[in-house]
Structure 1
């Protein structure tokens, strides 16, 4: 029997909460409006595959580059005591989808937010060759104009023949996006290292009516000359998009300021 997919929610001063698909209120206009994401003029989003925190300076870089970000979307984030302490002391909620344990603490996508989500939907897809899982997480947050912002944090499958499994992982995400009429951010490590994967990803973005963030100085981490990390969006405006150089991971972080 396959393992059930779930998310773990970390909030300061509260027990860790386990959230299963379908346990949250169904996605739609009836979602409750909580406290909105705290923003001034911009909504700052950081996206980073943190390489399981295997390099010594990951925390200092996260503090430096994540400063003033209302959302941090991490891939390969391990729930070590240091990570949980950073998340709960700087953000109102941190949601992680455990993909696998490495070696003692679960690793997977993690979304840190300056507001509590009103919707949470975890997803996992098994790598067909390595038999390890990759995860994705869909969360929804209220913003200042009373709209709801959907945030999709994804770590795409890496080792597969063809693009069938790659496209399969995007399918349930597309179903969720289709139910959401408002602004949206889709970002993460898409492992788009082949022409077929890039084509499948851009076809998916086109079908979902998403725009791709472009980086003027594009220092994104690459394999076979193709970038792995992307940010897509809808019903938002890009004010600034940067790739931040660091050796604290095998990926460079992305930072995007959206004008709401």
Structure 2
């Protein structure tokens, strides 16, 4: 395990058991900011959405809650959670969580250098590497929740931190999460970095939300992978973000420099 610069050992939790040895060639994915599982109906929606998924990337995920059994007792997915905040009253911890039908070869996690101004909480990134069916390459999966109510410079610092995790991986990449790109300046800088790392945006039909200033905060980018299908579940309202289902296919091995 590689620890992040600002992380503590207790910031990482691994649960459940993977059911497969490798990912691909077809990879089914769910990405969702679950709003700390606060809304009614979240559990039923999650159970339905996660069926047949090889990778699941959650933001604002929680642990030490009544939902823990879905993760700790799982015989289908290995779950890795990077925790950044603990509610002293409830003992519930919040962070990003990645589930996979394949055990990670390695993982990296780190917290944002800066904190949100009111809650004083930090935001988390979790990067994990999984073996692919070709056995010649591995898939880097980056699950991120970017700091929000801060200056552009502090936002930029955290985004740079996330993209630094891509520097030494020359194989396929899946990067997804809540990037809080609610103004043009943030989105422009985000797009500059994606081009620098040869990442391709997964285009999707969406339904903007007033709460998000009618901007799209959730993004999925990939490299060395083919998008087969993508669907935004706008009929699901058990979070303040819509879940996104994605079908990818791993390409033939090619080294990207």
Of 242, 252, 258, which aligns to 2:242?
252
Task: Give the secondary-structure state (helix, strand or coil) at the position aligned to 2:13.
Answer: strand
1:170 counterpart residue number: 159
Q: Within 1, Cα distance between the matches of 2:82 and 2:111?
A: 8
Q: Within 2, Cα distance between the matches of 1:158 and 1:255?
A: 24
Q: Is the 8 A contact 2:144 2:162 kept in 1?
A: no
1:8 counterpart residue number: 13
Q: Within the alignment, does 1:77 sit opposite 2:61 as a pair?
A: yes
Of 43, 62, 71, which aligns to 2:46?
62
1:95 counterpart residue number: 80
RMSD: 2.0
- Alpha-carbon deviation of 1:209? 1.0
- Alpha-carbon deviation of 1:68? 0.9
Task: Give the secondary-structure state (helix, strand or coil) at the position aligned to 1:136.
Answer: strand
Deviates further, 199-208 or 123-132:
123-132
Q: Is the 8 A contact 1:192 1:198 kept in 2?
A: yes
Q: Within 2, Cα distance between the matches of 1:208 and 1:198?
A: 16
TM-score (norm 1): 0.84
Task: Give the secondary-structure state (helix, strand or coil) at the position aligned to 2:68.
Answer: helix
Q: Within the alignment, does 1:36 sit opposite 2:22 as a pair?
A: yes
2:149 counterpart residue number: 159
- Alpha-carbon deviation of 1:207? 1.1
Q: Is the 8 A contact 2:56 2:100 kept in 1?
A: yes
Q: Is the 8 A contact 2:96 2:126 kept in 1?
A: yes
Q: After the TM superposition, which residues 183-202 of structure 1 pair with which residues of structure 2 at under 5 Å, given as runs?
A: 183-202=172-191
- Alpha-carbon deviation of 1:174? 2.3
- Alpha-carbon deviation of 1:220? 5.6
User: Residues 128 and 104 of structure 1: is their aligned pair in 2 closer, same or farther, counting only changes over 3 Å?
Assistant: closer
Q: Is the 8 A contact 1:221 1:252 kept in 2?
A: no
- Alpha-carbon deviation of 1:230? 0.4
Q: Within the alignment, does 1:123 sit opposite 2:123 as a pair?
A: no
- Alpha-carbon deviation of 1:84? 2.8
- Alpha-carbon deviation of 1:227? 0.4
Q: Within 2, Cα distance between the matches of 1:189 and 1:173?
A: 12
Of 51, 59, 62, which aligns to 2:35?
51
Q: Within 2, Cα distance between the matches of 1:192 and 1:204?
A: 13
Alignment size in residue pairs: 235
Q: Is the 8 A contact 1:50 1:76 kept in 2?
A: yes
- Alpha-carbon deviation of 1:128? 4.6
TM-score (norm 2): 0.85
Q: Within 2, Cα distance between the matches of 1:218 and 1:232?
A: 16
The runs of 5 or more residues in structure 2 that have no matched partner are 1-5, 251-257
- Alpha-carbon deviation of 1:178? 1.1
2:124 counterpart residue number: 135
